[in-house]
Chains A and B, each alone.
Chain A
Amino acid sequence: MKAKHQLAAAAVLLVLALILPAVIDNYWLRVMTTVFMIAIVAQGLNVIVGFAGYHAFGNAAFFGVGAYIAGVSLNAQVPLALAIVLATGGSAVVAGIFGWPLLRLRGHYFAIASVALNMAFVEVILNLGGVTGGAMGLPLPISPMPPDLLYRMIYYMMLGALTVATLVVWHLSGSRLGYALRALRDSESGAEVMGVDTVKAKILAWMISAAMTGCAGGIWAYWLTFIEVGSAFDIGISMRAYIMMLLGGMGTIIGPVVGAFVFEIVATLVWSEFTHIHNLLLGMFLIAVVILVPNGIIHLISRASARLSAARELRRAKA
């Protein structure tokens, strides 16, 4: 699927998402807000995994970092918009600092190091009890807005962040940095002899990835009004986002968004209809996806449209 087709599809989805709160109830509003949130995390993973080929299994670290930066800032009376900007930028800076040594590791060494980073952050937050609330968790100021309005605002905040993240990925796919990342994903030493500063390219990619993830974490903290390390640094966030990215198609522009939507909606329906066996059914769904759509939904659509146009050419040639 070409970049411009993906962008057109994204624009249609955006228009639908903008009018959706007018027609859905609060339960589905919550589900859709979660879809957007996890799609941002998946889009963040897409940058470091899909483009650069670095398997950051512990990327949820930046979700937690973003959540705690936003939480501490909001408690210090920082305005909401600035708190989210701080969560986004702060996460990027943290990724830059830790990326400098960690991104010299390759393959599974980096994957394990990223998980260790996630675990180390948990310890740091627990031991900074005075600022972060430690093991007790961190309550955030509760918004005076009526709940219906507040939840709609959070919905649009997540949607806005997801739109920006997708635009960043679109821009990245055609940029010099995008070329450099795709080259080093194929062969790191190959990229080096082309003149690519691979360490710099990887650090930049991880900073962009962390910024997206941290932004989602920041909005999530404001949404929940209470955060604690167990849920903010939950490795399950990374895992879910990973599945969504693979399901949609990694290295594509809207794959992670499509994957997040499909997975989360299927999970919600399965959970509400088959409460006792929902994990079993979800597992079977994932196995089916891996077997039937190994490269993701976007690649499946690309293949189908290529076949259609080939068939059309053939018909034209015969006529």
Chain B
Amino acid sequence: MSSLLKLESVSAAYGESEVLWDIDLEAPEGAVTALVGSNGAGKTSLMRVVSGLLIPTSGKVAFAGKDITGLVAERRVVEGIALVPEGRRLFAGLSILENLMLGAFTRRDDRVKEDLERVWKHFPELADRSGQIAGTLSGGQQQMCAIGRALMARPKLLLVDEMSLGLAPVVVDRLAEALLDVNESDGLTIILVEQDVELALEIASRGYVLDTGRVVMSGEAGELRDNPKIREAYMGVAA
């Protein structure tokens, strides 16, 4: 399987403080890749690098065979990268429908309506209240809206940052189901960033473990799940 996204020796910093060191990462086309690690491991910073909100200090980011290292965030959306940010980050003052339509902001094709119908199908509770202001939704509904908004861009690569944070397990299961569905039906490539290591490695086929800004382990999701070190450090299971 060829790689849709490839990071080579990527380092990044916020001003003086370096947060990522020498990251090598590949996201195979059509697969779900998990990026796991504890708080402060650099997962969100890495997502910011991929989505263009943080430009690396060194290294190379390639997407669909094209070097996008210096490309600004809004251009990356056009290339096909969509982000579901940590904490949902909906446009709180706008309605659900307006949020979803903003997801399709760069699109000029005539399939936007079709994709909107698909979001409604995945999350019928959003369809029932499409005019409601997004800031007044529950956490789970907000996450549905955030995922729906990213899908409206009809991306090639979907980045999902901390999907499960603060949500009830039953809601997380539904969101995971929706992601797996678009992955299987459309062959959408997904990078899932999670603190819930068990969940992430269950959904994904490959995984990367990040610690203090470095990749410390990578491999097949099944292997990582069975790895005693990971089970002890991230799943709370005694080795």
Given A179-B98, A183-B91, A186-B91, the answer on whether A195 and B85 have CB atoms closer than 8 Å is no
Given A179-B98, A183-B94, A186-B92, the answer on whether A194 and B53 have CB atoms closer than 8 Å is no
Within 8 Å of chain B (Cβ to Cβ): is A189?
Answer: yes
B93 and A197 within 8 A (CB): no
Within 8 Å of chain B (Cβ to Cβ): is A305?
Answer: no
B102 and A193 within 8 A (CB): no
Residue of A at shortest CB range from B149? A194
B94 and A194 within 8 A (CB): no
Given A193-B73, A193-B77, A194-B77, the answer on whether A180 and B53 have CB atoms closer than 8 Å is no
Q: Would you give the shortest CB distance from B142 to chain A, in whole angstroms?
A: 13
Residue of A at shortest CB range from B106? A195
Residue of A at shortest CB range from B92? A186
B83 and A179 within 8 A (CB): no
Interface string of A76-116 (1 = CB under 8 A from B): 00000000000000000000000000000000000000000
Within 8 Å of chain B (Cβ to Cβ): is A176?
Answer: yes
Please, how many residues of chain A have a CB less than 8 angstroms from a CB on the other chain? 18
Other-chain contact of A185, B53, B72, B93 (Cβ < 8 Å) = B93
Within 8 Å of chain A (Cβ to Cβ): is B74?
Answer: yes
User: In chain A, residues 174-210, which have Cβ atoms closer than 8 Å to a Cβ of chain B?
Assistant: 176, 179-180, 182-183, 185-187, 189-198
B102 and A192 within 8 A (CB): no
With a cutoff of 8 Å between Cβ atoms, the chain B residues found around residue A190 in the complex are 85, 89, 91
Please, how many residues of chain B have a CB less than 8 angstroms from a CB on the other chain? 24
Residue of B at shortest CB range from A251? B93
A186 to B149, CA, bound (A): 15
Within 8 Å of chain A (Cβ to Cβ): is B103?
Answer: yes
Cβ-Cβ contact count across A and B, 8 Å cutoff: 61
A189 and B93 within 8 A (CB): no
Other-chain contact of B53, A193, A197, A198 (Cβ < 8 Å) = A193
Within 8 Å of chain A (Cβ to Cβ): is B101?
Answer: yes
Given A179-B102, A189-B53, the answer on whether A195 and B91 have CB atoms closer than 8 Å is no
User: In chain B, residues 67-120, which have Cβ atoms closer than 8 Å to a Cβ of chain A?
Assistant: 72-74, 77-78, 82-83, 85, 89, 91-94, 98, 101-103, 105-106
Best-surrounded residue of B52, B91, B101, B149 (most CB of chain A within 10 A): B91
A186 and B77 within 8 A (CB): no
Residue of B at shortest CB range from A180? B105
A179 and B51 within 8 A (CB): no
User: In chain B, residues 101-152, which have Cβ atoms closer than 8 Å to a Cβ of chain A?
Assistant: 101-103, 105-106, 149
A196 and B74 within 8 A (CB): yes
A125 to B224, CA, bound (A): 70
Interface string of B42-72 (1 = CB under 8 A from A): 0000000001110000000000000000001
With a cutoff of 8 Å between Cβ atoms, the chain B residues found around residue A191 in the complex are 91, 102
With a cutoff of 8 Å between Cβ atoms, the chain A residues found around residue B53 in the complex are 189, 192-193
A186 to B153, CA, bound (A): 19
Residue of B at shortest CB range from A179? B102
Given A193-B53, A193-B83, A195-B78, the answer on whether A182 and B105 have CB atoms closer than 8 Å is no
User: In chain B, residues 150-184, which have Cβ atoms closer than 8 Å to a Cβ of chain A?
Assistant: 153
A183 and B85 within 8 A (CB): no
26 chain-A/chain-B pairs, Cβ below 8 angstroms: A179-B98, A179-B102, A182-B91, A182-B93, A183-B105, A185-B93, A186-B93, A186-B94, A187-B89, A189-B53, A190-B85, A191-B102, A192-B73, A193-B51, A193-B52, A193-B77, A193-B82, A193-B83, A193-B85, A194-B103, A194-B106, A194-B153, A195-B78, A195-B105, A195-B153, A196-B105
| B-binding residues in A (CB < 8 A) | 176, 179-180, 182-183, 185-187, 189-198
